[in-house]
Amino acid sequence: TKIMSKTASKILVPIGFSDQSMIALGQAMNLAKLKNSEVVLLSVVEERHSMFDLLISNDDEISQLKKKVMDKLNEIASEYSEKYGVEVETMVAKGSVYEKVCEVAEMVNADLIVMGTNGSPKGITKKFIGSNTEKVVRSAKCPVITIKGKNHKDGCDNIILPLDLEKETREKVTYAIEYARYWDATIRIVSVVLRDNNKIRNHLQRNLEQVHEFITNAGVNCSSELLEGEKKRSLSYVVLEYEKNYESDIIMIMTKKEESLSDSLSVTARSIIFNSEIPVMCIHPKKRKHLGSTIGF
């Protein structure tokens, strides 16, 4: 096996042994091949908190469980590594899933996390807010691709890029270009006018044109569309409906800066993550010293 340099790109895949995490792993392996990345598989043995568990649970049992999980993980790693020709590392951690995922991502310097989500649990919103997927998306410092649906093809033909008037547009566009090049995909930019407001419409239109030009100049195929949203429809609804026109493969959204401080994602981000049948890539804005006029659009 070849020795990977410390600077090699790494994709972290949390594995809970569900069908969904295995689908996520397949997608991560495809991407790792294109990006020339190493894949790190992480399983988290969750700490239990009930009194009964505390009484019977001893270190011996925990280490046996960790060993079982590690054996299973190593089995998956060697099977997938051989199949895709990609280096795969394995790790087992004990603790809370989302904390460990974010911790390990930083520790191995991952540039991407790919994880399965089973969509929003029905009923109790509280559970839904506390879901590991949402917490990872909110807390991770690198982009996170969440995968919900069952049918995913290898690679990607269309990247849906919803744009609003946020300052971090440039960062999201840069990622879209990078991934469009890996996949030889078309970027489909979309903005939505929810209110009949000419000033906003003109601003969005200018923004779309600038971004379209920027992507085209970078040598990537691109289309752009300004959609009229109906009053009772949310932004996420319009984006998810639009996506169906293209048999798209991924939606790229930005989580806002202030979201890391609040307890949940914006309604639009959350709604897209949990309702999209295609993968969603969430990009967390980097902390910048100053967002000056260098943004460009």
> If we measure between CA atoms, which residue out of 165, 181, 137, 179 comes closest to residue 273?
137
The pLDDT of residue 1 is 39
Cβ-based neighbours of 219, under 8 Å, separated by 6 or more? none
What digits encode the pLDDT tens for the residues 114-139?
Answer: 998 865 544 433 344 347 888 898 88
pLDDT at 257: 54
CA distance 81 to 32: 11
What local confidence, expressed as pLDDT, does residue 104 receive?
Answer: 96
How many angstroms separate the CA atoms of 283 and 281, rounded? 6
Instruction: Tell me whether strands 144-147 and 280-283 are parallel, antiparallel or unpaired.
Output: antiparallel
Could you tell me if residue 124 is left (phi over 0), alpha (psi between -120 and 50 degrees) or otherwise beta? beta
Tokens of 88: 């795969």
Taking the CA atoms of residue 175, residue 179, residue 184 and residue 190 in that order, the dihedral angle to the nearest 10 degrees is: -50
Instruction: Determine the pLDDT at residue 212.
Output: 95
Average pLDDT, the chain: 81
Q: For residue 93, list its beta bridge partners.
A: 44
Residues of the chain with pLDDT below 70 are 1-7, 47-59, 118-130, 149-153, 165-168, 231-232, 256-264, 287-297
pLDDT in tens, 232-265: 677 888 888 888 887 778 999 987 654 444 455 7
Q: What is the pLDDT of residue 182?
A: 92
CA distance 269 to 252: 10
Q: How far, in Å, CA of 271 to CA of 267, rounded? A: 6
The pLDDT value given to residue 293: 37
Q: Which residues of 86-123 are buried (b: 16+ CB within 10 A; e: fewer)?
A: bbbbbbbbeeebbebbbebbeebebbbbbbbbebbeee
